[in-house]
Structure 1
């Protein structure tokens, strides 16, 4: 029997240590025992550094003989939980965890008094959010393994974009509407253009083309179009009429509820009715818990709390950064904050594409964008509704809506063909560079701050 058990990679940082996202929304598409590593249909660990098998290369197969496979007997004895292996799995699950030292430093800098304190606070807390997002994802996976299919899926939906959600709510509580809107739009753009572009470029450089699950790609394209419509229509309505702000708020809240229903319907479509159709090219391997249940829950609570603290101090330092560096708030929201939050996604998507698994790159990037557009963004509008903040609406800046429309249009053209090339990635990266260039000189619109 050939052992493809993912536990042999317990202490490696290429899989569970990085921020995993499930098919189109980071929610698990498999039973509760299969919420771990992503494998291909043969069971090969997609992100293992020892896996050199390329599923898309002509004639290449796993180097395993049938006779030795039949003769091999593997006795799987679970390793007991100890203090040593729990600490090792928590703090050495990813190379990004070295930046955890930035968390206490960022908190200390918040209370420091010197001229460059806002810039230092922003940079250090932004660095701290990268490993914290990895740790939060790891803890969510561990808790979801024990929670069952439905609850596990809900946990992944809730905490899949926890960093973006927490940063947005913290900024919303400080009435930083511009930062909220630009950060959420920027998260979508960063995943669709920068992360996916780098994955396609590097993956395509090794081969003439890469193939995609066309059904999943077309489904994602339709959902992306729906997400853009949910933002574009309230914005155009606001610009084309003299409707009072209160009415725009009502329209945005109603649209947000509809978008949440759309996302819920898609989860049912993905997890229940058409699960095999959307995941026919890859499945998740059976993964055993790496952490004790109490440790996993404590890690989830602790990492979430640290994300909230670092996010609050980061948002509070933005005013000082814009004054001292003379950069626009749009540039910070559209470019800097999303890059910080999407570094783990960049590593996972690129590693998958290099191993000729472009489908997984789509899962990581487009799935995260869909969750932000159909879940996080409307949820933040609903939260603003509950807090009585009428300025938090789906009426965005025309510049931001145009960026969304053009980006989704280009991405849909690239993925619905069922194949990608290195040029596809180059085009996406170049569009992101144009976005960053325009954002640098785009004037802030403080009139939207409530």
Structure 2
């Protein structure tokens, strides 16, 4: 605990933790002040993300970057899961689908591209394990096919009932594929996913494993609670700031939900630990596509007013497909430089600008 308090005292970014109790207090006192709650929740998530970053790096120092990246992706995706479940309970199925599709695209393009850019600005050329990246990209491509099929056959007779049955079957297949992928990468072929050795050394002393794990668990819960306040206020706040519903779900919710993972991925890239950055970005995207999306679909039968299917609007499926192909292309060599990050970020900015100016019809 002393290590944690010392870190908070000496890191000005963590002083923003004061906004965590403030956002909960404001939610109780001024529940209708949506714009205020939106700003406070974003400010509260930032320091929590920084804490999560430090704790995850400490765990990765004990377990290796590949496992550390997987752990961070898993805990980070709890935020997206809570945001989506909150929206499901409110019957905002379209917001759920937009946030899921946006999370996949944001992690694949924005997080990966920014990691390449930030790491490349400090290091001339960076290397990482391309086998791990290709496996994650392959899993993401499988999920893209599963999301493409319901949209492709949506014009069939009795489409509603058919899509529900098809979505359940696809969800089971995706969860099975994800479980087998974890078995492959963490058990049967673990040696293929070892981190690339880097010349840079002298990392900060990691926290004790017990403190790191406790911090990971506690901070993840706080991020999830703050995210509930965020999702309840984001729609009204979006109108105040002139943002469209499509832009909110696809871009804003995704960026805030992935804040914790981004903090870790960017810090790792700057320290020339690109294996961890790539593992978090692609691992999180494939985890959302193969696990979070089908789990949300199955949960909708329990917590939602109406069941959700896996039929996304065509524009979202196209963006996911392009993001997957982009990630596959840029990670094929196992090397990166800052300009590669610029190219990937440009693809993401094209999507963001399109959604801001011309939201898809749903």
- TM-score tier, shorter chain, comes to 0.7 to 0.9
The CA distance in 2 between the partners of 1:355 and 1:153, in whole Å, is 14
Corresponding residue number in structure 1 for 2:337: 421
Given the alignment of the two structures, is residue 199 of structure 1 paired with residue 118 of structure 2, yes or no? no
Could you list the runs of 5+ residues in structure 2 that have no partner in the other structure?
63-67
Whether the 8 Å CA contact 1:188–1:373 is kept in 2: the answer is yes
The CA distance in 1 between the partners of 2:94 and 2:243, in whole Å, is 14
Deviations 1:189-220 (A, max 9, x none): 22221121122123334555433323222212
Corresponding residue number in structure 2 for 1:436: 352
Corresponding residue number in structure 1 for 2:65: none
Corresponding residue number in structure 2 for 1:109: 26
Cα distance change, pair 292–136 in 1 and its aligned pair in 2 (3 A)? closer
2:280 aligns with one of 351, 364, 367: 364
1:237 aligns with one of 153, 159, 173: 153
Cα distance change, pair 85–280 in 1 and its aligned pair in 2 (3 A)? closer
Task: Pick the structure with more helix per residue.
Answer: 2
Q: Counterparts in 2 of 1:69-218, with a 5 A limit?
A: 84-85=2-3, 87-88=5-6, 91=8, 96-111=13-28, 117-135=33-51, 159-206=75-122, 209-218=125-134
Could you list the runs of 5+ residues in structure 1 that have no partner in the other structure?
1-82, 147-151
The CA distance in 1 between the partners of 2:235 and 2:263, in whole Å, is 30
Shift of 1:153: 11
Cα distance change, pair 112–321 in 1 and its aligned pair in 2 (3 A)? same
Corresponding residue number in structure 2 for 1:401: 317
Tell me the matched-pair count. 352
Cα distance change, pair 144–253 in 1 and its aligned pair in 2 (3 A)? farther
Shift of 1:311: 2.1
Shift of 1:259: 0.7
Cα distance change, pair 350–443 in 1 and its aligned pair in 2 (3 A)? closer
Q: Counterparts in 2 of 1:264-275, with a 5 A limit?
A: 264-275=179-190
Q: Counterparts in 2 of 1:263-412, with a 5 A limit?
A: 263-281=178-196, 289=208, 291=210, 303-387=219-303, 389-412=305-328
The CA distance in 2 between the partners of 1:161 and 1:88, in whole Å, is 28
Shift of 1:264: 0.4
Corresponding residue number in structure 1 for 2:172: 257
Cα distance change, pair 391–130 in 1 and its aligned pair in 2 (3 A)? farther
The CA distance in 1 between the partners of 2:269 and 2:59, in whole Å, is 28
The CA distance in 2 between the partners of 1:241 and 1:93, in whole Å, is 61
Cα distance change, pair 87–278 in 1 and its aligned pair in 2 (3 A)? same
Shift of 1:85: 4.2
> Which of structures 1 and 2 has the bigger CA Rg?
1
